[in-house]
Chain A
Amino acid sequence: MVLESETIFIIDLLAIFAIYVIVNISLNMEFGYTGIPNFGKVLAVGAGAFVAAAIPGRIFANIAGIEGDYITNNLLIVSQINLWLVDNVGIGFVVFFLTLGVAAGVGGGVGLLTSYPAIRLRGDYLAITLLAFGESIRIIGNNYTPLVGGTLGVQIPDPLSFLPNELRFPVATIGLVAIAAIVYVYSEKMVRSPLGRMLRAVRDNEMAAEALGKNSNHIRIKIIMVSAALAAIGGALYAFYVGGTIAFAYDRASWTFWPFLMILIGGLANNKGVLIGTLIFVTLRKFIIFFKDSLEGFVPFDVVWLDFLLLGVILLVILLYRPQGIFVEKPTPTISHKGEDNQWNIKKMFNFFFK
């Protein structure tokens, strides 16, 4: 069975969509719900990808007893590991999920680091600091070779290498979509919980929230750590999906600017908006890349820049003419609204106190 190009197109689109949904939901938690302009989103995403590049391969090499320097002989070692993984599916999955866990942990650490300026600075100064923080990940990744192989990058072993080639990408995509769905449900539950309401209270009127006894700094640290952990998982999944990590792929445009674009198209503080915004963006980009070759002859420049131009203009138009995005933020209902008695109780209590 050989996959047709249309099927490959849709499978790849879904996989990239799922990864960006994870990253965008985490950004929406920070920027949409809490109002923290995290212009250094790439930091957490990159940290996750670097974990995926540096850790699982070394663990596999150790267990399988493959000798050699992991970075310099990377190609050879990874192909040996992939052969070995065909017979050791279980270990492959254990290490895969372990890596996601470590990525989340490292992401949380990065979040803690990010929260240090985020609770002390406001608005523009914070944005500049985080932007500069985000730049640092690429510089370190590019120059510190043992981490992700410097400018050459590294390959990552594929836990799905036991599958035949034409099944590998569909199965990976199903996995990614499932993880994205879990993250989506988690985020939906969170924004409907008391914590979610507190986030919006801190965003809309910090002083009022503090007057009601909420510790706004505490909330900020918490939400930045959670969202950085999620973003790191997204980064690790992306690294596993493409099968390698190279530092310069973790630049400001791909992992900070595009996520902002997507959540602004869909509408801030709105998980449905994240889905639709991401879908529009990913589809548009896929089509631009798809039709790149047929456009190549007509324009006297690389079509990649048309993509930048178009997306930049789209964002400016949205900011100017529909700043609330496709879906406008609505007051979210609380979690428990199905039980009739429950509502009755609240009504009774309300009447008791206020009438």
Chain B
Amino acid sequence: MAYDPIFSDAIIFASLLALLSIGLTLTYITTRVPNFAHASFATIGVYVALIVTHVWGLAPYIAIPISFVISGIVAVLLYTFILKPLIRKGASQAIQMIATLAFDLVMIAMLNITADYIVKTYKITSREFSLRSYDIDFMGLPLIVIVAPITIAILAITLHIMLRKTKFGIAMRAATENSDLAGTVGINVKLVYGVSWLLGGGFAGIAGALMSLWFQGDPNLGPQLIPSIFAASIAGGFLSIYGAIAGGILVGLTEVLGTRFLAGEFGAWLIAYRPLIPLIFIVVTLFLAPKGLAGINWSKLRRHGSRI
């Protein structure tokens, strides 16, 4: 059987969605505000990759650590200078959400300005560009198809070890479970939250850098991606890192392969409606299993099944 490129699409998209929803979950469990600017952190990564490859002429994978740092710092700025003061002043959750939307707008404007600047200064395409040609072939496949899932696996395992085995990770879990109690036993809750935002933003940056090697890059990627990321996080329960991984893979695979399957059954006009899939995911998850994959009691379900 010939290898169908749709599987590359599905694997890469699912891995990146998992990475993005891990990041979103990491920030959500600290401040309990859904960050609508999260997808634009990934767009920063896309532009870092563009500059690394086109302007500096380096291998695209060098963009990964750089975009981790830049997106992480931007996320920390959002937390420190906007969300933290708002929380201190007792602003409602809705106001905090609007603040992240405003921050997203500022970021989209900055990204568009960067894109215009790149066009004018270096005379290269900076909208709807693709960096696919910069990738290397590995055993007949583009390297990104292998790198994307491996990156997720490495990051997930690192995060798992950090949260379970290191002192800082345990402090982090304590601070997200009950910040007041964690504060009384001497954990620096603000620092822990800051690190959480750094990791969350950084992971999104990595996802963006990887994404540029397969999908089209554009300054306005964020608004297109955000429903999928939220669908993945909600499907995963929004409070569990492992749920986020499962949700990302589930939503990513369904979006790519499900659209392909339905288009094959009913006709190609269905492809254009692919953005509605995350919406359906959000609605179905919230009404059937509001706590997501992480909230389903699997062992009980299994016992129930065996009884039948």
Contacts and interface: CB of A to CB of B under 8 A. Distances in A.
Interface SS of chain B: helix
B120 interface: yes
B98 A323 contact: no
Given A39-B97, A319-B99, A143 B223 contact: no
Interface in B91-149: 91, 93-95, 97-99, 101-106, 108-110, 112-113, 116-117, 120-121
B95 A323 contact: yes
A121 B34 CA distance: 14
A251 B222 CA distance: 13
Interface centre among A31, A120, A129 (most CB of B within 10 A): A129
B299 to A, nearest CB: 26
Interface size class of A (residues with CB under 8 A): 35 or more
B286 A121 contact: yes
B94 A123 contact: yes
Contact of B117 (A123, A257, A300, A304): A300
Contact of B103 (A261, A304, A306, A316): A316
Contacts of B234: 125, 128
Contact of A37 (B94, B223, B286, B287): B94
A327 interface: no
A139 B86 contact: no
A29 to B, nearest CB: 15
Interface string B83-95: 0011001010111
B193 interface: no
B282 interface: yes
B289 interface: no
B33 A124 contact: yes
B108 A319 contact: no
A132 interface: yes
Nearest to A302: B116
Contacts of B103: 312, 316
B106 A132 contact: no
A276 B2 CA distance: 64
Interface stretch (B173-181, B197-205, B271-279, B300-308): B271-279
A306 B82 CA distance: 21
Interface string A254-278: 0001001100100000000000000
A301 interface: yes
Interface in B24-53: 32-34, 36
Interface string B62-100: 000000000000000000001001100101011101110
10 contacts: A123-B94, A128-B234, A136-B276, A301-B113, A302-B112, A312-B109, A316-B99, A316-B103, A316-B106, A323-B89
Nearest 7 A-B pairs (CB), nearest first?
Answer: A301-B116, A312-B105, A308-B109, A312-B106, A309-B109, A37-B94, A143-B272
